[in-house]
Amino acid sequence: MKKKEIKDTERNEVGSSQCGTQVASGNKISMLIPGKLVVPMILDRAVRFGEGLVGVEFDNKWGYVDIKRNMAIPPVYDNAGSFSEGLARVGLNGKCGYVDAKGKLVIPMIYDDAGFFREGLAQVERKEKWGYVDTKGKLVIPMIYDDVHLFSEGLAPAMLNGKWGFIDPKGNTAISMVYEDAYSFSDGLALVILDGKYGFIDTNGNIAIPAVYDNAGPFSEGLAAVKLNGKWGFIDTKRTMVIPAVYDYAEDFSDGLALVILNGKWGYVDTKGTQYWED
């Protein structure tokens, strides 16, 4: 499993790389709202909660319900994403745009693909070129990039001519496009790939942690999963290996725990390296 898979979740939650593509139908599921089981066994699929609404699928069409089970936005779309900064990406007939929490189409269905809003901007794509729109739908950064990702800490990864760098919210190149791959900033550092190895840079483009790892994930809760000599462990922002590289696989930290695999057994470690194994 490659860590670069994390970048796919920045754009699409429902399994489609195109806004209008109908994704494969799954089994019927129960919809979980925190602390309560609601709308049992009538949904085909659902996406995660975002700002009080969750995208749900009924009979191959997507809409949104609120935490009280009220249908907030009718199921009329081919696919849907989570709400972020007041808007959600929706797809219909091969195109996508954005709706607000009342279901009003705020940004027209004119894009071939699109991402989530973060720091006031969202990725949009037409004819295989990417740029960014603001929450009013204004194209703030032209669609000239081969690929882009979320803004974080004032910068976003962008690719031109096969190389990755970082741009600012005005579309200026802030960090030169010299990397084979790049990820959004977290904890003041961004994961980059150089000469096939993973390392981290700071927001000024300086190498903070040399690219010496075989694989890695972004920093989360002060630690990053890294792979060295075939095993995974965790480093801090000073490159100290605070959790030894002994695991066959490791995920990023969330709520104080990170999923790990050792000798085929799944479990979790906390930020101090204490292990909690599945029965």
Domain, as residue range, for 97:
1-117
Domain assignment of residue 162, yes or no: no
What is the reported pTM?
Answer: 0.84
Inside any domain, residue 58 = yes
The reported pLDDT for the residue numbered 73 is 94
Domain boundary among 117, 140, 166: 117
> What pLDDT does residue 247 have?
98
Nearest Cα neighbor of 52 from 39, 35, 34, 74 is 34
Of 89, 117, 145, the residue at which a domain comes to its end is 117
- Output the pLDDT for position 52: 86
Contacts of 27 (CB under 8 A, 6+ apart): none
The total domain count for the chain is 2
Say what the pLDDT of residue 46 is.
54
Return the pLDDT at 69.
79
Q: What is the mean pLDDT of each run of 10 residues along the chain (279 residues)?
A: 40 46 36 38 54 85 87 93 95 97 96 97 97 98 97 98 98 98 96 98 97 97 97 97 97 96 95 88
Assess if residue 272 is contained within a domain.
yes
Instruction: Say how far residue 273 (Cα) sits from the centre of its chain.
Output: 26
3-state secondary structure of 147: strand
**pLDDT given at position 68:** 81
79: in domain: yes
pLDDT at 67: 80
187 found inside a domain? no
Q: Would you state the pLDDT for residue 55?
A: 87
What pLDDT, on a 0 to 100 scale, did the predictor assign at position 5?
42
Is residue 196 domain-resident?
no
The alpha carbon of 47 is separated from its chain's Cα centroid by a whole number of angstroms, namely: 13
Establish if 246 belongs to a structural domain: yes
At which of 117, 146, 174 does a domain end?
117
Please report whether residue 104 resides in a domain. yes
Query: So what's the pLDDT on residue 13?
Result: 40
DSSP code of 214? S
pLDDT at residue 51 in the model:
74
